[in-house]
Amino acid sequence: MNPDGKTLPMSDSVQKRSLARVRFAPSPTGYLHVGGARTALFNWLFARRQGGTMILRVEDTDAERNKPELVQGILDGLRWLGVNWDEGPFYQSQRTELYRAAAKKCLANGAAFLCYCPAEKYAGGDHTEPAQDEEPKAGGPRRVTRCSCRDGKPSTPGVKPAVRFKVPLGGTTKFLDAVFGEREFSNEEIEDFVLLRSGKNDEEFGQSMYQLGVVVDDIDMRITHVIRGADHLSNTPKQVLLYRALHSEPPVFAHVPLILGADKSRLSKRHGATDVNMYRTDGFLPEAFRNFLALLGWSPGGDEEFLRTKELIDKFSLEGVSRTNAVFDRPKLEWFNTQYLQRLPIEELLPEVEKELKRSGLWKPEWAAGAAPGPEGRDHAWFSRTVDLLRPRIRLLPDFSSWSRAFFSDEFPRDAAAKEKFWKDPKVPELLAKLADTLEKLNEWNHDACDHASRAIAEAGGVKAGLLINATRVAIVGQAVAPPLFDTMVVLGQQRVVRRLRDAVAGFGKA
RNA sequence: GGCGCUAUGGUGCAACGGUUAGCACGUAGCCCUUUCAAGGCUAAAAUACGGGUUCGAUUCCCGUUAGCGCUACCA
């Protein structure tokens, strides 16, 4: 079913679904950047929506900058995000022959030529003579190349040639972009770009360049939709030219806007974390992160924004992709996380909390589902109730270990400022001691019993219930902010509450 | 410099020729009174600028400005 409620004829839709093939093609020159993650997510949502195929391809053709050890982190990041793939990962570094064959084909049919210019000549992009511009600004004047080797320069002895594409001298190159519409570029603006690096040592040719690699692979992998960052928009005509030279039909392109930092400049480390794996270690829930990311540069059309993965898939379409760059807003991401912490079915949240408590060393095996209850009847049901009580006030997973430590461990910090704030009244120690005595004798341990007992003590002592309640909270969890007191008492258990009250009073007396 | 893309509150998105320009985050204030890092309510806050087209422009066209991208034997 489409968002508008219409359905395609079954045979038609099935056929279309099985056809869509998309890919995510990261380069292992860094970690998985949030921008790359968003691109991967869009590809994945599109593939799943269409019932198509998601392919992962590692673009590692630059031996100089490539760091193979970074691949694992990228794959881990994708898995954490829940972005899985149906084919791959394929490595371009292992497909060199394919690219060389394609380059030779271009050479043979006149679409490319051998270039004997030294690599340094073009370094920095100054392809021809400096323009008239008298004062070279940062980067210097630049003009488009029409390499003089293109008409068959005699080979230079001892110089290994690179292969360059022979861009047509006139005319335009156009293509269809699902986001930006029909695009047309003048060929005059496209330089004779390098297809294959010159060979090192005894190689005839070197590694493929980006433009050749993507096109050859996208053809070979039968990619139907190229969904990638808008930074590739200007390079696309080069690729379209290559498709033609290789006698292939270009796919549908879909360039998605970039993600910027708070100052609207390209998102970088100085804006905060850009490595997706940092968000995992910070303790964000993957589904919350996914929801947030999906809404950066895409919208289902209405006002809804809390969309679980299934809804994201159901509603995703290239038509909903925006053409404007988006700023990565961490506070909103954190809001999404709190929403997921509160709204997720508890059984989906529990495993995440379990992982967190294991990480911090607070986890007890008896809290696992199906395990035998531990001391004081603490079992999985207790764990579930406790997490449920805690979660409205949690922002990030590690808060379960730090802010909520008193619920999972008897060793927890007592906040001096909280004590200062709620233990002002000199009657507090006496009241707490009385409360401990009363609570110890309770035959039933539940919210109302704790409530009645506490209020009775407050009344007898001539203070407002709130005073005692706040003081008690500080006494049993060590901090000013926690879930409602009587729920907290129930979860902590009778013995523990009594013990902590007495410990607190003793500590108060000494202080 | 050349070429390209974009332009709705501080931020993310709605409104795809006619709305008092909507929602959310954030911010401020108020309420709840058992704390707040929970919850509820309210407020401030936007169509970059200038021309067209049209009965009517946030919406279509042109220009300006600004931001971003590309302009490598990087991807």
ipTM (interface predicted TM)? 0.96
Contacts of A312-317 with C-beta under 8 Å, sequence gap 24+, read A312/A45, A313/A45, A313/A48, A313/A49, A314/A1, A314/A3, A314/A49, A315/A3, A316/A42, A316/A45, A316/A46, A316/A48, A316/A49, A317/A3, A317/A49
| Element at A430 (helix H, strand E) | helix A428-441
Sign of CA dihedral A69, A70, A73, A77: negative
For residue A194, what are the β-bridge partners?
A164
Q: Is A35 exposed, middle or buried (0-12, 13-18, 19+ CB in 10 A)?
A: buried
Spatial distance between the Cα atoms of A384 and A117, rounded to a whole number of angstroms: 69
Q: pLDDT band at residue A133, thresholds of 50, 70 and 90?
A: very low
Q: Is A11 exposed, middle or buried (0-12, 13-18, 19+ CB in 10 A)?
A: exposed
Answer for the pair A212, A102: CB distance below 8 angstroms, yes or no.
Answer: yes
Q: How many CB atoms neighbour CB A126 within 10 A?
A: 17
Spatial distance between the Cα atoms of A185 and A251, rounded to a whole number of angstroms: 17
User: What does the pLDDT look like over A354-403, one tens digit per residue?
Assistant: 999 999 999 999 999 999 998 888 999 999 999 999 999 999 999 999 99
Q: Is the pLDDT of residue A200 over 50?
A: yes
The amino acid at A281: T
Closest CA to A290 of A118, A90, A45, A501: A45
A415 touches strand B (CB under 7 A): no
User: What does the pLDDT look like over A134-172, one tens digit per residue?
Assistant: 333 334 445 667 888 888 777 778 888 999 999 999 999
Q: Is the pLDDT of residue A489 over 50?
A: yes
Q: Is the pLDDT of residue A18 over 70?
A: no
Q: Is the pLDDT of residue A129 over 70?
A: no
Closest CA to A80 of A48, A34, A135: A34
pLDDT at site A134: 33
Among A137, A269, A310, A441, which one carries the catalytic annotation?
A269
pLDDT at site A398: 97
Q: pLDDT band at residue A56, thresholds of 50, 70 and 90?
A: very high
Phi, psi dihedral angles at A229 (to 5 degrees)? -65, 150
Task: Summarize the confidence of residues A446-469 as an average pLDDT.
Answer: 94
Q: Which range has the worst mean pLDDT, A114-118, A175-179, A483-487, A490-494?
A: A114-118
Report residues 389-408 of A contacting strand B, contact meaning Cβ closer than 7 Å: 392-393, 395, 399, 403
Torsion, Cα A471 A476 A480 A481, to 10 degrees, reads -130
Q: Is the pLDDT of residue A9 over 60?
A: no
pLDDT at site A374: 87
Task: Summarize the confidence of residues A255-276 as an average pLDDT.
Answer: 92
Answer for the pair A276, A32: CB distance below 8 angstroms, yes or no.
Answer: yes
A261 touches strand B (CB under 7 A): no
Answer for the pair A501, A436: CB distance below 8 angstroms, yes or no.
Answer: yes
Pair of tokens at residue A409: 């461990």
Task: Summarize the confidence of residues A476-500 as an average pLDDT.
Answer: 95
Task: Provide the CA A476 to C1' B25 distance, Å, integer.
Answer: 34
Q: Is the pLDDT of residue A88 over 90?
A: no
pLDDT at site A146: 86
Answer for the pair A473, A414: CB distance below 8 angstroms, yes or no.
Answer: no
Q: Is the pLDDT of residue A107 over 80?
A: yes
List bases, strand B, within 7 Å of protein CB. Answer: 1-8, 10-15, 22-26, 33-39, 67-75
User: What does the pLDDT look like over A313-325, one tens digit per residue?
Assistant: 999 999 999 999 9
Q: How many CB atoms neighbour CB A452 within 10 A?
A: 13
Q: pLDDT band at residue A73, thresholds of 50, 70 and 90?
A: very high
Task: Provide the CA A182 to C1' B5 distance, Å, integer.
Answer: 13
Angle at A452 between CA A448 and CA A458, to 5 degrees: 145
Q: pLDDT band at residue A201, thresholds of 50, 70 and 90?
A: confident
